């Protein structure tokens, strides 16, 4: 555009790139599963998880995978704490039972390092808060 002195003002063009933030895909069957943990344990079934319990401690949720629902199973929940100690609970999951809740009322969320499920198929790690 010409100015009073006859010169042309430079035109500055800025193009804003759209910023898109794709949330992490977790907890859905269509999501890519996370990689194995540092010990090589695979992630557990996408619905399994743990969180702080409303009345204190933590709760760990085990969901019987649909393809194995017709089979009974023994499951051990293993909570590894930040001090290196572990606490475990076992449950007999009946054929057809869809979910089981493990309760660890004496374990504060802040001292949980990792949670696992041990089954006849092996060990897997359970996703927790913020995973």
Does the pTM exceed 0.85?
Answer: no
- Cα–Cα dist 115/96, whole Å: 24
Q: How many CA atoms lie within 13 A of 24 on its CB side?
A: 6
Of 109, 63, 106, nearest in space to 87 by CA = 106
- Cα–Cα dist 113/63, whole Å: 21
Strand partners, 115: 79
Question: Using one digit for the tens of pLDDT, what is the confidence trace for 14-29?
Answer: 444 444 444 566 556 6
Question: Using one digit for the tens of pLDDT, what is the confidence trace for 71-98?
Answer: 999 999 999 999 999 999 999 999 999 9
Instruction: Answer whether 116's CB lies under 8 Å from 60's CB.
Output: no
The position carrying tokens 């649909």 is 66
Instruction: Answer whether 34's CB lies under 8 Å from 54's CB.
Output: no
How many C-beta atoms surround the C-beta of residue 51 within 10 A? Answer: 14
Question: Using one digit for the tens of pLDDT, what is the confidence trace for 99-125?
Answer: 999 999 999 999 999 999 999 999 999
User: Which domains does the chain carry?
Assistant: 49-125 (2.60.40)
Strand partners, 52: 58
């Amino acid at each position: 555009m010409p100015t009073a002195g006859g010169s042309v003002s430079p035109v500055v063009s800025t193009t804003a790139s759209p910023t898109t933030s794709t949330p992490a895909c977790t907890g859905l069957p269509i999501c890519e599963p996370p990689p194995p943990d540092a010990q090589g344990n695979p992630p557990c079934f996408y619905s399994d998880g743990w969180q702080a319990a409303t009345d204190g401690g933590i709760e760990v949720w085990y969901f019987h995978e649909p393809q194995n629902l017709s089979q009974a199973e023994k499951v051990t929940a293993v909570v590894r704490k930040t001090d290196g100690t572990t606490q475990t609970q076992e449950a007999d999951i009946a054929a057809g039972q869809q979910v089981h809740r493990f309760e660890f009322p004496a374990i504060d969320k802040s001292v949980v390092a990792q949670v696992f499920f041990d089954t006849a198929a092996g060990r897997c790690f359970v996703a927790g808060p913020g995973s």
